[in-house]
Amino acid sequence: MLQAMAATLAGMNLADLAEEVKPEGALAASPQASGAAKGFTAGAQPVNLLEFEALARRRIARMAYDYIAGGAADELTLRRNRECFDQLRLKPRVLVDVSKLDTTLELLGKKLAFPILLAPTAYHKLVNPEGERATARGAGKAEVTMVVSSFATVAIESVAKAATGPLWFQLYVQRDRGFTRELVQRAEGSGCKALCITVDTPVAGTRDREARHQFRLPPGMEAENLRELVKKSERVSHVSEQGIYSLILDPELTWKVIDWIRGIARVPVLLKGILAPEDARLAVEHGVAGIIVSNHGGRNLDTVPATIEALPRVAEAVAGRASVLMDGGVRRGTDVVKALALGAQAVLIGRPYLWGLAVGGAEGVKRVVTMLRTELEAAMALCGTPSLERITRSVIWE
């Protein structure tokens, strides 16, 4: 499979990918940037996830780039998410038969081809005029599960129509419980197989880059899943001009509400945004199906641990009683191996596939996922771990 994927990647031409994206209006890239993107030679095409960001930055508006790339306050946690992965060392074992690799796993009762998902990210139309529709098509081509954000710029029903692969839905609980119930029902009615409740955002983080731009969506672009809430306010934003609270974030979210949502949901419920092992234990006690170890991509509370630092303690607290996933800083196949070794069943990526979406639409998303999957397989072979079950703490050099 490694050889087949490598051949597929080698055959892809970035100029072809770039043709899918035709930025317009406030999102248009400069003529110079667009021309450069179409004129890449084979040697200049991205060969890893990290290289997509520079290409995307030349194609999208500065405000859009800073919204996606930025973190909270001094962005210490944002940087630490990567630094901690880089500091971990792997311990390869040799003379192991790795002629056949098995990356499959069962997650929430469903079989996945590999332990990578697309994390929920907001406002895909900031980087591609088709928005989440293109992302869903790319996810389907890559055989990867896509978690659709409450803040999508395409309604969940339309994303589902474009999708050919499995979808989950990320939920920001709203103060209007009736609206929240309807949103859960819409997601389930669209075929979403799981519900991820974001629990780390009673208020938004202090995001200097957004403040400098006075970030808001361009005219004609909305958080379509929250359209009814938009009608109640002239301007729906993460942060109100009157203070830290927002119409679209619920500061009263508690465990009692989690119990209520579990009672109305017909699909497995996961909590996204757990770092403390104490909260992980409570999550299990409240009967959730899974936990996503996350610091919101370093976008909320600065100076918290990197997710790869928090992961082992959360996994220990859960003790196999619920599924454990993680996001934050995953850019290499070796990062996936490290996360699995420290207790995750799967990882989610966010910014990298947005950069792929900006550069090449659906094909760009597919290419990002395929690259990471190929790197994962190479790392597994070189570590002497031909199946996911063989990736244990012993893979980490300690």
Q: Half-sphere exposure of residue 270, counting CA atoms within 13 Å on the CB side?
A: 26
Distance of alpha carbon 326 from alpha carbon 318, whole angstroms: 13
Distance of alpha carbon 162 from alpha carbon 338, whole angstroms: 33
333-341 vs 76-87: helix crossing angle, rounded to 10: 80
Q: Let me know if 296 is a catalytic residue.
A: yes
Tell me 346's DSSP state.
E
Distance of alpha carbon 346 from alpha carbon 325, whole angstroms: 5
Helix residue ranges per DSSP H, the chain? 2-11, 14-19, 31-38, 50-57, 62-69, 76-87, 132-142, 156-162, 177-189, 208-213, 227-230, 255-264, 277-285, 307-318, 333-341, 351-383
Distance of alpha carbon 7 from alpha carbon 341, whole angstroms: 29
Q: Which two tokens stand for residue 319?
A: 């003790």
Asked if 365 and 142 count as a contact pair (C-beta separation under 8 A), the reply is yes
> 248: which residues sit within 8 A by CB, 6+ positions away?
151, 172, 174, 223, 226, 229, 236, 237, 238
Which of 124, 238, 286, 296 is an active site residue?
Answer: 296
Active centre residues (catalytic)? 296
